Structure 1
Amino acid sequence: MKGYCSRDPEWKKAFVKYVDQEREITNERFPSMALSTVDLEGRPAVRMVSPRGFVGDGFLRISKEDKGQWASDVLTFCTHAQSNKVQELVNTNDVQLVTWLPNTGIQIRCSGHAHLLFHPDNPNYSTLSLDIRHRVWPRDGTDAENKEEEEERRNSKMAGGPMGLVNGSILIDEEYIREQAFLNHSPVIQAWYSWPAPGRVKLADSSLYPMSIPRIEDKAEAEKYEANARRNYVLIFVDVNKVDIVNLKQSTRMLYTRRSNTSWSTTEINP
């Protein structure tokens, strides 16, 4: 089959293992990470973000037809369309994300390039610049050939549905991924995306800052705020090309570097 990674990268296996170990203690689905960008004056800018996870994992299925058979190493997080980080990422899409897992003593640092997907109604909308097909693989590698045959048979009858294999290529529904990321926020976080631009002086009109859109009694007002929230919701896909994992409890450090679409190098370095 063409168009996807040949195997699950070792760095992602380690990432998931350590996050799962931390979750056993904290019950957090995914750890917060510090995002480093370059501001418009060329200076470093760092803030905490809450990643939505990897494309293909959990609620980030690659399409409505995906029943959990696909995985990827594309990390995601989200932001308000009018936040400073959007213009920073448009200007320079080199990013680094780092998380510290205190209970397991693990630091994970991911470097790569950020690709922004705006809502179709947002004036800045454009199609996703990252071809995720080259970052996706069958979750069950031992059954890859059977999955290929099943998907090819189904798609030969669907004339190009939203997901599957057409002429050996995986079809990805990026808009579906972005929508699922939005829907899996709490009502409070969803409402935040309807607010005015972050980082500006707060306005006196409290009605501009609803805490929960479903609680707005006026239906027309609620629909307006929901439309604003969706329009302001940006999902950011990080094409990771380098991962640095330090295990302080074992005094080990592994550096993973992407060599091509389908392979990585692994080097043990000094902590």
Structure 2
Amino acid sequence: MNNGVCSGDPEWKRAFVGYIDKERSITGERFPPMALATVDVDGRPAVRMVSPRGFVGDGFLRITRDDPGHWTSDVLTLCTHARSNKVQELLATSDVQLVGYLAHTGVQVRLGGSASLLFHPDHPNHSTLALDMRQRVWLRHPAAASDHSHDLTRVDGCDVELDAEFIREQAYLHHEPVRQAWYSWPPPGKPRSADPSLYPTEIPKIADVAEKEKYEANARRNYVLIFIDVNKVDIVDLKQATRKIYTRRGDTTWSAQNVNP
């Protein structure tokens, strides 16, 4: 794009994805687990491990149903149960930080940014996604702009149509059945009930059709996708003894500074 709004993968994302690819070749993990830091309702730090779903546009997180995989972004996604503590924390304070350590490559990555939550359309908290991702999305390969079979954008204006609900649905569908079932369970962090029927392990295996539909509806309603608008990145390569900090400017460009590890 030539308007200064849409560009290409920033340097930090290229580096991060490169490290992830190296780690995946050893562990087989699609995306490494990361620690998510938030501020709890009492103003204290709260940290837990999360499994990012990946960047919007990448893999199964295509931006629309008709997107053949032309688009990518630097918006990282996470998921959570609608009644988890982190939901209330993020609704109150959207600033977050994630940190991941890639043990086999010896790299630590910290991502700072702002979180926006997308609830299921049937959930009381559902609203239009606050984050305008059009400024965070660009063509994976510029040559794709010449493919007129997909009217995805005006190349000169970054007028990209994104379907946030489609992205949320794809994130849910690409969980294993066991993980999907967790979202039908009672609220996380509450005392566990003695009734095992409240904790199905795989919803498709429930024999009663009405019960199966009820749990499936609950799981989908409780599934929240979190979009992280990254604005600061700190990458430490312990094997090379290097550290680089990337900071997003007011627009979509980034500054980079080599600092001491």
CA–CA separation in structure 2 for the residues paired with 1:58 and 1:95: 24
Instruction: Give the counterpart letter for 1:67 in structure 2.
Output: P
1:96 aligns to what SS in structure 2?
strand
Asked if 1:245 corresponds to 2:235, the answer is: yes
Equivalent residue for 1:43?
44
Q: How many Å separate the matches in 1 of 2:145 and 2:154?
A: 12
Corresponding residue for residue 159 of structure 1: none
Aligned identity (percent) is: 66
Indicate if the aligned counterparts of 2:139 and 2:145 stay in contact, CA closer than 8 A.
no
Residue pair 1:135, 1:261 contacting (<8 A) in 2 also: no
Does residue 221 of the first structure (1) align with residue 222 of the second (2)? no
Contact (CA 8 Å) 1:5, 1:261: kept in 2 or not?
no
Structure 1 residues 203 and 112: CA distance shift in structure 2, 3 A? same
Larger mean Cα displacement after TM superposition, 258-267 or 180-189: 258-267
With over 3 angstroms needed to count, the CA separation of the structure-2 counterparts of 1:5 and 1:261, relative to structure 1, is: farther
Q: What letter matches 1:72 in structure 2? A: S
Q: In the superposition, relative to structure 1, how do residues 64 and 6 fare at CA in structure 2: closer, same or farther (>3 Å)? A: same
Match of 2:160, SS state, is strand
Tell me how far 1:7 sits from its aligned partner: 2.0
What TM-score does the superposition give when structure 1 sets the normalisation length? 0.92
**Aligned counterparts of 1:165 and 1:213: Cα–Cα separation in 2:** 42
Whole-angstrom CA distance in 2 between matches of 1:120 and 1:166: 31
| 1:122 alignment partner AA | H
Deviation at 1:9, TM superposition (A): 0.2
Alpha-carbon shift at residue 40 of structure 1 (Å): 0.3
Give the aligned CA root-mean-square deviation in angstroms.
Answer: 1.6
- Residue of structure 1 equivalent to 2:115: 114
Q: Is the 1:3–1:134 Cα contact (8 Å) retained in structure 2?
A: no
> Is structure 2 residue 205 aligned with structure 1 residue 204?
no
Instruction: Tell me, yes or no, if the aligned pair for 2:145 and 2:155 is still in contact at 8 Å.
Output: no
**Corresponding residue for residue 190 of structure 1:** 180
Deviation at 1:166, TM superposition (A): 9.4
Which residue of 2 is the match for residue 160 of structure 1? none
Partner residue in 1 for 2:146: 146
TM-superposition CA deviations, 1:170-227 (whole Å, max 9, x none): 0100000000000000000000000000000011111011000001000010000000
Residue 75 of structure 1 pairs with residue 69 of structure 2: no
Partner residue, 2:132:
131
Q: Tell me the SS of whatever aligns to 2:243.
A: strand
**For residues 136-155 of structure 1, what are the alpha-carbon distances to aligned partners after superposition, in whole Å with 9 as ceiling and x for unaligned?**
010013x26524xx26xx54
| 2:77–2:227 contact (8 Å) kept in structure 1 | yes
1:261 correspondence with 2:251: yes
Q: Decide whether the 8 Å contact of 1:71 with 1:139 is kept in 2.
A: yes
Matching residue of 1:10: 11
Partner of 1:26: 27
SS in 1 for 2:200: coil
TM-score (norm 2): 0.96
* Structure 1 gap ranges (5+): 156-162
Summarize deviations over 1:90-138 as a string: whole Å, max 9, x none: 0000000000001110000000000000000001101100001000010
Q: One-letter code of the match for 1:187? A: P
Runs of 4+ that moved beyond 6 A = none
- Maintained 8 Å contact 2:115/2:226: yes
Picking from 210, 230, 247, the partner of 2:220 is 230
Q: Contact (CA 8 Å) 1:79, 1:233: kept in 2 or not?
A: yes
Which amino acid in structure 2 is aligned with residue 39 of structure 1?
D
Label 1:222 to 1:102 Cα distance change in 2 as closer, same or farther (>3 A): same
Is the Cα contact below 8 Å between 1:7 and 1:137 reproduced in 2? yes
